[in-house]
Chain A
Amino acid sequence: MLAWTIYLSFAGALLEALLSKGKAGVARWLALCVAVLGLFCAVGGFVQGMGQGRSVIVDVPWVPSMGIHYLLAADGISRVLVLLTGLAAVAGILFSWNVEHRTNEFFAFYLALIGGVYGVFLSFDFFLLFVFYEIAIVPKYFLIAIWGSTRREYGAMKLALYSFVGSAMVLIGLLAAYSTSGSHSTSLIALAHAGLPVSFQMWCFPLVFIGFAILAGMWPFHTWAPTGHVAAPTAASMLLAGVVMKLGAYGCLRVGIGLFPHGLDPWGWSFLGLGSWRDVFALLALIGIIYGALVALAQTDFKFVIGYSSVSHMGFVLLGLMTLNQIGLAGAVLQMFSHGVIAGLLFAIVGRLVYDRTHTRQFAELESMHLARRLPFAAWAFVIAGMASMGLPGFSGFVAELQVLIGAWIAKPWWTVTAGIGIVIGVAYTWRALQRAFFADRLPTPEEHPKTGWPDLGAITWPEMTGVALLTLTSLAVGLYPRILLDTIEPAVKALLAGGGQ
């Protein structure tokens, strides 16, 4: 059932591309139906897979001479991330309900992107994974370049090129691993058991890891992220920060750590206190957390704050991956899900609820707009989303970050301390954004100057409310009862750690 998520999305994309230009309404509803169906498949697959380990969905030889198979499979991690994609896809469409310009092409690219993402999460053949990974790049470019806002052509090109360079690195790693393992098969499972020599893994791992980590927004390769997010239209930002960055992290986990586990071993010598690639990448992750948070604190554009906060939160995911213990990795996967939902919500509020109405994202201008009075729904939605982003208990971020912190402590205590500082700064910049955008009261209150004609900013539409509700309730549900996801994630993580790559 999970494979249908991919096929439905691509079929939907094709149908959308064939729709005639004027039918915006049809395009929207078609896209929504496809996405909702995809979500059903994702949920169905998730429920079906509960309690099971890795299950193979499709295994068809594709290019037999090279041992390449069209191999789709899912374990706990894949199912959780597919679920995330389903949710983000539906939410993104709801928040794009007001796109009027070339609507069918918008949704065509959107669904193609979603299809590619589903494909990555479900592929268990390195080549197939790479194919889907690349497929996802081109729709991103067009989504941002055509429907974006600030500096969109630059942002789109930057994102496309960075992603492509990252995938080029992965391709080199793929080719190298394939030939070193004897060129029999590109299945992830086979490559993991191929017994690649440690010296090979030592240089192939960082190559592949960095290639994927570029897309995950690891410092210092993260610079595409703020520009790209800000330039992108709301739905694209939601997908970018919510799901696409998770592609990178998933690649780091599934391919990097799964295929080249010995790449993380100590080198035997240390340089500036770093003795293995694990130390290096953990350090970069920590820098990303702190740097992202600090820079977010200094922004004057609302969306940039969220963009940099994504970099900071992804740092948590990468740190969790580097802990290499059960609890840290489970926390990393949970953080992928949690941040996916929360970042989607934040971008939706900033982009759709606020920017589409106020046409500005600068704090200096938002301050005087008294948004807490005029857009109460947006203000309170942001309060809730902000609390979730800060890591308030009761929301999904708390459990995820707690697990990463504990995992980090087990690995190296000073990691926890540094990451904790990042959380505190996170509270600060979220707070600042909340204050300045919604609750700054520079103008006199309405009681003192009643009815001086606040221009109407447009009522909140039902798609927006549905989208906010969907994402908020998801975060709340996972935050209050994390076991719905942890019960699926933890066995998969255990298997990954034990098998050295399934």
Chain B
Amino acid sequence: MNYADLFRITLPETVLEIAALFALIVDLGLVRKAALQMRVAVAALVGVIGCGVAIWSLSMQPTIGLSYGAGSKLILLGVGGYITAAQIGILLLTGVTLLLFTGSVFTRHAGEYVAVVLMSAAGGLLIAAAQDLLVIFIGLELLSLGLYILTAFAKSSAKSAESAMKYYLFGGTSAAFLLFGFSYLYGITGSTNLHEILLQLHQGELYQATPLLNVAVVLIIAGLGFKVAAVPFHLWAPDTYEGAPAPAAAFIASVSKVASFALLIGIATTAVHVFDAPGPSPTEQGAHPGFGGPWMVLLVTLATASMVLGNLAALAQISVRRLLAYSAIAHAGYMLIAVAFFSYSPLSSNAILYYILTYGLTTIGAFGVISVVERATGSDRFDAFLGLHKRNPLLAGVLLVLFLSLAGIPPLVGFWAKFNLFAAVLNLSAGVVPFTLVALAVAMSAVSLYYYLQVLKRAYVMPAVDETPIKAHPVTLVVLVTIAAAVVVLGCVPALLQNWIAGF
């Protein structure tokens, strides 16, 4: 392995690390004496610039991935295709969450916060590109450790600490499971490279389930399921969404999901293309999209359970953050269907990417609104939103757009993302199982309208208890309005984002 190649391929991650250090230096060195607001703004600015530079640096990456060493055909870190799209998405979303950080008052450690965010983002970039089990694990840990810290950042809030503890314990356990599963895979196949593993599994009769493979797959799914918050590995999500400070929760809800699903896409793509001979026009004999064994069955089960439980539990919530958490679980369920029924052509991977990117954006916007309301009213219960249309009509309008998009109402982007996803699944195979899953997903979407409308009802319909106007930080407002506009525009002209993703 050539360290120059490694450096070039990990350029974005490097940029982020440098930016993180820079943020620390600027904060500790240059603006130490300034007011908190100024320090936060400066740190956020540094972080955003860092993200921008990282995006630019993506263009400097080589066109083929990093291989293990001279003469090895196996790829350690990939580039291009869904990987680049996911990485750009991660960087953009990180930038947006940092913009939302501007104006926050929950911590005095501005530079540290930004640094941790950037480092977690670097972990996310790594996961998206990783083609080796160990690299995956490293990236996952990098991401997760940062997230635990971010959750606990609001030092004055007991809920923050409690939820971080829960998150950490869960996360640690599931990371252990994941590693354990990885070790079995290594044991069965003798390699840690994804492609190699999958080739071994498919070529040998190992694809027919052996008890060891089954155990491995179950463990891996436990680990990955934790990351995407699928049932029954979702228990951390409501508490974390509730306890983490709003910008951090936005980051967790968006960027970590993008990274995790990029990973899943990676596993699925590699599996489907495992028989591809290098060269022109591989045949359409994609294998199953995953590690074999009970992979499909487990994913389908996870998907079903997530959709159902996520939506039904959301019906009972009175806190908007917890509602978003359960809705996130439900959305993860929808996406898992597409991972389970993964197409040979880039259709599925594009659809999943489209979904997770737009979902991430929308969720960041939702948390942005919540942070403003929380700051003004002190709570994120439904009642805090009463009469929002009078107190801040712009904010209420943004909330309307975002929540309707999450519910899947056209012409907003959330609808198109769902439609695209389900069309991709059915395009692959319109058999009974995928069809039933899609029908269930649509039905659950219909249910979800109820709880989104509950919040909108508070904002628009029910009379206000307190009519004092709510002020929002100008940067926050600009960001939120931009997100809402993007949701509308991308929904009206879906081809924009779709073509962009497909272009990679």
Contacts and interface: CB of A to CB of B under 8 A. Distances in A.
B423 A165 contact: no
A65 B461 contact: no
The 4 closest A-B pairs by CB, nearest first: A131-B410, A179-B426, A168-B446, A145-B461
A164 B450 CA distance: 10
Interface in A121-166: 127, 130-132, 134-135, 137-138, 141-142, 145-146, 153, 157, 160-161, 164-165
A291 interface: no
Interface of B: 389, 397, 404, 409-411, 415, 419-420, 422-423, 426-427, 430, 435, 438-439, 442-443, 445-446, 449-450, 453, 457, 460-461, 493-495, 498-499, 502
Nearest to A186: B423
A160 B449 contact: yes
Interface in A161-183: 161, 164-165, 167-169, 171-172, 175-176, 178-180, 183
B461 A153 contact: yes
B443 A168 contact: yes
Given A64-B495, A157-B453, A175 B409 contact: no
26 contacts: A63-B494, A63-B498, A65-B495, A66-B423, A130-B410, A131-B411, A134-B409, A135-B410, A138-B404, A138-B409, A141-B453, A142-B460, A142-B461, A145-B460, A153-B461, A157-B450, A160-B449, A165-B446, A168-B442, A168-B445, A176-B426, A176-B435, A179-B426, A179-B430, A180-B430, A183-B423
A62 interface: yes
B498 A161 contact: no
Contacts of B442: 168-169, 171-172, 175
Contacts of A65: 495, 498-499, 502
Contacts of B494: 62-63
Contact of A171 (B419, B460, B493): B419
A161 B409 contact: no
Contacts of B449: 160-161, 164
Contacts of B426: 175-176, 178-179
Contacts of A168: 442-443, 445-446
Interface string A50-93: 00000000000011111000000000000000000000000000
B346 to A, nearest CB: 11
A64 B430 CA distance: 22
Contacts of A63: 494-495, 498
A137 B411 CA distance: 12
B40 to A, nearest CB: 33
Nearest to B454: A157
Assign chain A's interface to a size class: 35 or more
A86 B71 CA distance: 73
A153 B430 CA distance: 39
Given A137-B409, A146-B460, A179 B427 contact: yes
Contacts of A62: 493-495
A2 B389 CA distance: 34
B495 A135 contact: no
Contacts of B419: 127, 171, 175
Contact of A172 (B411, B438, B460, B502): B438
B461 A164 contact: no
A275 B316 CA distance: 43
Given A130-B410, A134-B410, 19 more contacts: A62-B493, A62-B494, A65-B498, A65-B502, A66-B420, A131-B411, A131-B415, A142-B461, A145-B460, A145-B461, A160-B453, A164-B449, A168-B445, A168-B446, A172-B438, A178-B423, A179-B423, A179-B426, A179-B430
Contact of A146 (B411, B453, B461): B461
B84 to A, nearest CB: 19
A179 B426 CA distance: 6
Contacts of A175: 419, 422-423, 426, 438, 442
A459 B365 CA distance: 50
B502 A135 contact: no
Nearest to B397: A17
A176 B457 CA distance: 33
Contacts of B430: 176, 179-180
Contacts of A164: 446, 449
